[in-house]
Structure 1
Amino acid sequence: MLSVIHLRVAFALLAISSAAASPCIASLVISAATTSGAISATITSTAVTSDASGETSLVTSVASTTEDESATSSTVVESSTKTIVSSAETSASSVETSDSSIIIETSAATTTTEATAETTTAEPTTTDATTTVAETTSSTAIPTFTMFASGSNAVAGRSLQTYNRDGTVAVFDPATDDDNPSVRQYFIDAQGRLVNDLGWFLCGYYGATNDELNKPATVAVCHSETTLQTAFLTCELDGPFAIECSVPAMSCVSSGSASMPPTCIPTTGYWRLNSVGVRPFGHTWQIGGSDTPDKYERMIMSIREV
């Protein structure tokens, strides 16, 4: 009887060894037949899982018992089955984790593309701002020019020259080079005053006498006005080649005495008539009213832009 039991146990061990070598086997059925109720063989199975390979193996031990073989065999089958199911669940979990990784990578790629598109849209603003500044700068140019006499008179074609000293008279043909008279460049300031490149203004100097109450004002260099004596010229360009200048009109009354100058007061309107005066130091620019004496040759003041 013992020989039969040993033989059956040997077959059982051989079957268990085959199961340990192949983790894909879903179940293991072991049976042991008994010929005597007093002696039976019990097979106890223990499941051991290896961390390194993820495989499940079975270790079987043999012991003598008086319990039923059928119950022991059933326990072995159930234990083996649960172990294999657990392995399958672990594999499924691994697949789900892999899917999640793919979704995260796709989302990151989309975010990067949107950020690049936003950066590109900022370029047109810079072009508009540059164009506006260029247009503003080009509209601020102020013309500069020199002046000369034209018309039928003794100094036609001659340029106006001045001295770099307050109160000196502007002339077309200086009799001497003393004090260095020169042709200067002029511009018209915001108040309409005529200013040269050295910062001097041009004024009209009033010089009426008891014998010549309507004498025109003589143009001279100045820094400021003096009431009843000097006034700034007010000018504007008349086309590309001419300039029109004026001074406040003055009305004078004789004093009746050779030792006393006439009494002059400002009056309504302006003097605008250009003429040429004669002085020992050269021909001068005169501005007077319509009643300017005929001895003053009429003149047109012209400009050359520089």
Structure 2
Amino acid sequence: KTTLLRAIAGLVRPSPGRVALGEHVWQDDARGLWLPPHRRAVGVVFQEASLFTHLSVRQNLDFGLKRVPPAERRIALDQAVALLGIGPLMDRKPAHLSGGERQRVAIARALATSPRLLLMDEPLASLDAARKAELLPYFERLQCELAIPMLYVTHSLDELARLADEVLLLEAGCVHARGPVAELMTRLDLALTRGDAASALVDGVVDTVDDPYHLLHVRFAGGVVQCIHAPGSPARHPGERLRLRVQARDVSLTLTPATDTSILNVLPARVQALADDGPAQMLVALEAGGVPLLARVTRKSAQLLALAPGLPVFAQIKGVAVLD
């Protein structure tokens, strides 16, 4: 994965090869074309923030800015500083920054070069859980507010669920699968569905906010789900788009809808496929209004319900998480 990013950035030269972004061709061995890294307009952020330790944050950012002629600057430095919340850090040197702060500065310096493409090589891998949680909202802001495609390398299913639109799954240097993140996270033949974290993503829109019960009603193609909106959570408004995550372990199946249950979310669905998940359990791929879901059930339950592809069922969803 790192080799792929280095090849795109021009830090290594695969031969033979061709590297292009839209109409911008950076390498084409058939035509004898090769552009060095400084002519590719690519921003790169590695696991460790590669900052100049003898320079302040402001000077590090100025170094990135000076690489771009004024006429070609598409991102204002003030915009990058505001997006990443590093205004109070401008006069500090890297030694006086936390790991999360150093990564934010490294991203801002990459943005200062006005890149056409942003490459992220596991930028959170060296950080602890608290620093990762601190940085993820900044990545989401970059996605929302800047029209820059981002290629993000990660081994974390949590980061994948929060940030990805499309996924390229690499194994042993080969492309194993490629497609929308919601589709690949529910494919039973892929490693993404292995383990306790197996889950599905649902993109929806806030329908109503139930303040007395601290619930959000979120509408998606398969119906409406209710999820907890705890005090102190970000304010939500009708019409706002949200991404939800539904863990396979939180989904049970029935053949008829239960009415005397504490579970609020019961959706009509259809079985798409089944796969063994250890000696006692099975993963069931479902479809609800065209949206893929997963359920983890015991092998005995699958046999008692006679689960098979095409069977209509009701998915009882015990918990839904808002990814924010």
Question: Normalization by structure 2: what TM-score?
Answer: 0.18
Bigger-Rg structure (1/2):
1
Question: Normalization by structure 1: what TM-score?
Answer: 0.18
